[in-house]
Chain A
Amino acid sequence: MWIDYLVWTVQNLLFPVVVPVVLLTGVILAVWIERRGAGFIQDRVGPNRVTLFGFRNAGLMQPIADALKLLVKEEFIPEKADRFLFFLAPTLSMIPALLTFMVIPFGDVLVLGKYRIPLQVADLNVGLLFIFAISSLGVYGIVLGGWSADNKYSILGGLRSSAQMISYEISMGLAIIGILIVFESVRLNDIVRMQGDLLFGFLPRWGIVVQPLGFLLFFVAALAETNRIPFDLPEAEAEIVAGYHLEYSSFKFSMFFMAEYVNMMVASGFIVSLFLGGWQIPWLPTEALVAHVGPILTAVLQVAAFAVKLWFIMWVFVWVRWTLPRFRYDQLMGLGWRVMLPLALANIFVTSVVPFVLGVY
């Protein structure tokens, strides 16, 4: 049957190609939000002059112009740089960023007659661990890129990055344990589906409602893992010029740049799936939606709900960046080890003890 092949193609060939393309295109929107958001917060207009075929679109063409500019710029490689690793590093930071999004569900399973199409590239039994494992590899691009350039500032950036990643990955992993205890699954789609329930009959059972401290810890750790202000010590301009990508120019620089924004989108998608109900539209379970508007429109609405939540978190990232100053390095380490780690452990303890006290088990 040709329709069998069509469904198979969509699941196994179309999704793995379309999702990275959408992510890379999303970088344009992310850069636009970043630059116009910065303008908005600093009470100025922001870049809005670039036109393409007479369309200004409030500056939405600016990121395209930026990308073109980066592509045609002169490529400079330091004389004493380790050329092999210098070439490899931008790719190493890009690939894990794109891979991680593969297990994040962007809609409920689409049921069309006898076909069941999961709106997610890979529904892994170990989905959560996959995200942690692959995203922990992203640091190598920064570390090796910093080392290979043979520049003291970029080595410092790489060193800072490796120490920071290790410190905050621990709090990040521990902040998740509470969610795992509450939802009793490591499959991301199961976790999202369970967030459709209602608490006390009116409150959606989102992760942020049942695990507020977990959400806060995870959000802060995500800021640190994506090297965003206030945690952008690896590229702190005031101290180490541009940190790990100091010697990079042209396309290689733009790969680091894009990887940062893709990482932000992955972190946002992860936060949305775990704490903000993923593709769930509040008070509208999938069954009710399918009964009223049909399966296709349901899928479209759920993907839209996921996208709205994801871009809201992206906006919060931008908001934080242009509001807070940068940490000092000892403050960064102090926050990670002395505040977040004990809080995450306390969160796990409380989450495991409370059900026994309330007699839920």
Chain B
Amino acid sequence: MIQAIFFYIFAASAVVMALVVVSARNPIYSAAALIGCLLSVACIFVLQSAHLLALLQVLVYAGAIMVLVLFVLMLLNLSRDELGRRRITVRRVTGVYLVGALVTLMTIRFTKHLWAPAVSLEPGFGTIEEVGKILYTKYLLPFEMVSLLLLAAIIGAVVLTRKEKGDGR
């Protein structure tokens, strides 16, 4: 019961924050709301007993990536004139229509499982030990492929930011 109450609180705050992200005029507010949205989703993960996932979400997305986003936004430091006024464009109308369609489809798809019987969790679900075991046995190949992809991205970033010799910059 109490879990359901908390779920609705965090779910509502996640949705509201997401709406602020796309509707705020000031990009700093969008970024701040995105942090709030990520935190709300992390709280929902905690309610689902996925503690490790929740903390990684906070650590990586809310704690590290969003700091960089804010860093860039602060460097730009757009003034009110540069941001422009609120306008209704074809692109925005299409976007609203597509979001509505997506929400409808998802509602139809997921309410099918609404009355499915509850399944009890295995002991140790969501702990570091269990997630680690699954990652290194059942999902070893995808896990290693993702690490290779990340390594390639890191090397790419280093190559892109390195100064060429005699570039004079």
Interface residues of A (CB under 8 A from B): 82, 85, 124-126, 129-130, 132-134, 136-137, 139-140, 143-144, 146-147, 155, 158-159, 162-163, 165-166, 169, 186
Contacts and interface: CB of A to CB of B under 8 A. Distances in A.
B21 interface: no
B74 A133 contact: no
Interface string B61-95: 01110011011001101000000000000000000
Q: Which 10 A-B pairs have the closest CB atoms?
A: A136-B63, A133-B58, A133-B59, A129-B55, A133-B55, A162-B71, A125-B127, A162-B67, A126-B51, A126-B55
Nearest to A169: B64
Contact of A162 (B51, B55, B70, B77): B70
Q: SS class of chain A's interface: helix, strand, loop or mixed?
A: helix
A125 B128 CA distance: 7
Interface residues of B, number: 23
A124 B51 contact: yes
B64 A166 contact: yes
Nearest to A130: B55
A137 B63 contact: yes
Contact of A143 (B26, B70, B127): B70
Given A129-B59, A140-B70, 14 more contacts: A85-B28, A85-B32, A126-B127, A129-B128, A133-B56, A133-B59, A137-B63, A140-B67, A143-B71, A144-B70, A147-B28, A147-B70, A162-B68, A162-B70
Given A137-B62, A162-B67, A166-B64, A144 B51 contact: no
Given A85-B28, A125-B51, A186-B128, A133 B63 contact: yes
B52 interface: yes
A147 B58 contact: no
8 contacts: A82-B26, A85-B28, A126-B128, A130-B55, A132-B59, A140-B35, A155-B74, A162-B74
Contacts of B26: 82
Contacts of B77: 147, 155
Interface string B41-64: 000000000011001101100111
A140 B68 CA distance: 11
Contacts of B58: 133-134, 136-137
A124 B128 CA distance: 11
A124 B62 CA distance: 20
A124 B58 CA distance: 16
Interface in B120-169: 127-128
Contacts of A162: 67-68, 70-71, 74
Contacts of B70: 140, 143-144, 147, 162
Contacts of B63: 132-133, 136-137, 169
A155 B70 CA distance: 11
A126 B59 CA distance: 12
A124 B74 CA distance: 36
B53 to A, nearest CB: 10
A129 B64 contact: no
B55 A159 contact: no
Contacts of A186: 128
Contact of B67 (A126, A147, A165): A165
Contacts of A144: 28, 32, 70
Contacts of B56: 129, 133
Nearest to B62: A137
A132 B64 CA distance: 11
Contacts of A134: 58
Interface string B5-45: 00000000000000000000010110010010000000000
Contact of B59 (A136, A140, A147, A159): A136
Contacts of A133: 55-56, 58-59, 62-63
B55 A139 contact: no
A57 B77 CA distance: 49
Nearest to B57: A133
A243 B12 CA distance: 36
A143 B68 CA distance: 11
A125 B125 CA distance: 11
A165 B66 CA distance: 12
Contacts of A143: 67, 70-71, 74
B129 to A, nearest CB: 8
B67 to A, nearest CB: 5
Contacts of A147: 28, 70, 74, 77
B25 to A, nearest CB: 12
Contacts of B28: 82, 85, 144, 147
